Amino acid sequence: MTSTYQQQLDAKVARITAQFSEYNPPSLEVFPSAEQNFRMRAEFRIWHTENDMFYAMFERNAENQKTVVEIKDFPIADQSINVLMPVLLNELKAQDILSKRLFEVHFLATLKGEMLVSLVYRCPLNTEWEVAAKALSDKLNIKIYGRSRGQRVILTDDYVVEELQVFDRTYQYKQIESSFTQPNAHVCQKMLEWACNAADHSDKDLLELYCGNGNFTLPLSTRFNRVLATELAKSSVYAAQWNIEKNNINNIQVARLSAEEFTQAYNGEREFRRLEEAEINIASYDFDTVFVDPPRAGIDDETLKLLQRFERIIYISCNPDTLHDNLKQLSQTHKVTQFALFDQFPYTHHVESGVLLEKF
70, 207: one domain: no
Q: Is 264 annotated as a binding residue?
A: no
125, 12: one domain: no
Q: What average pLDDT does the segment 313-318 reach?
A: 97
Query: Please, are residues 206 and 224 in contact by the beta-carbon 8 Å criterion?
Result: yes
Q: Is 182 annotated as a binding residue?
A: yes
What pLDDT is attached to residue 107? Answer: 97
Given 114, 162, 261, 352, the catalytic residue: 352
* Closest by Cα among 308, 298, 355, 353 to 334: 308
The three-class DSSP label of residue 63 is: coil
Residue at 32 is within a domain: yes
Question: Full-prediction pTM beyond 0.75?
Answer: yes
Q: Is 230 exposed, middle or buried (0-12, 13-18, 19+ CB in 10 A)?
A: buried
Residue at 179 is within a domain: no
Residue at 279 is within a domain: yes
What pLDDT is attached to residue 197? Answer: 98
**Looking at residue 241, which CATH number applies to its domain?**
3.40.50.150
351, 293: one domain: yes
256, 122: one domain: no
In the chain, the N- to C-terminal Cα span, in Å, equals: 40
Look over the chain and give the mean of its residue pLDDT values, rounded to a whole number. 96
Q: Is 55 annotated as a binding residue?
A: no
Q: Is 215 annotated as a binding residue?
A: yes
152, 200: one domain: no
145, 11: one domain: no
Sequence-separated (6 or more) residues with CB below 8 Å from residue 76: 36, 37, 38, 39, 346, 347
> Is pLDDT above 90 for 243?
yes
| Residue 116 to residue 119: CA distance in whole angstroms | 10
**Looking at residue 148, which CATH number applies to its domain?**
2.40.50.1070
Indicate if the alpha-carbon torsion angle 223, 228, 233, 236 is positive or negative: positive
What pLDDT is attached to residue 62? Answer: 78
> Is pLDDT above 90 for 74?
yes
188, 331: one domain: yes
Given 70, 162, 318, 358, the catalytic residue: 318
Residues 44-69 have pLDDT tens digits of 999 999 999 999 999 988 788 889 99
Residue at 67 is within a domain: yes
83, 146: one domain: yes
Complete edge-to-edge strand list for the sheet that includes strand 312-317: 29-31, 334-342, 352-359, 312-317, 287-292, 205-209, 227-230, 252-255
Residue at 92 is within a domain: yes
Query: Please, are residues 323 and 292 in contact by the beta-carbon 8 Å criterion?
Result: no
Sequence-separated (6 or more) residues with CB below 8 Å from residue 186: 33, 34, 38, 111
265, 321: one domain: yes
67, 20: one domain: no
Q: Cα dist. 273→209, 226, 276, 309 in Å? A: 19, 22, 5, 25
Q: Is 266 annotated as a binding residue?
A: no
Catalytic site includes residue 352: yes
210, 223: one domain: yes
Residues 142-181 have pLDDT tens digits of 999 999 999 999 999 999 999 999 999 999 999 998 888 8
The rounded Cα 193 to chain-centroid distance in angstroms is: 16
> Is pLDDT above 80 for 2?
no
206, 351: one domain: yes
Domain count, the chain: 2
Strand 29-31 to strand 334-342: parallel, antiparallel, or no bridges (unpaired)?
parallel
* Closest by Cα among 246, 308, 253 to 275: 253
The residue range of the domain holding 349 is 3-36+184-359
The last residue of one of the domains, among 160, 195, 217, is 160
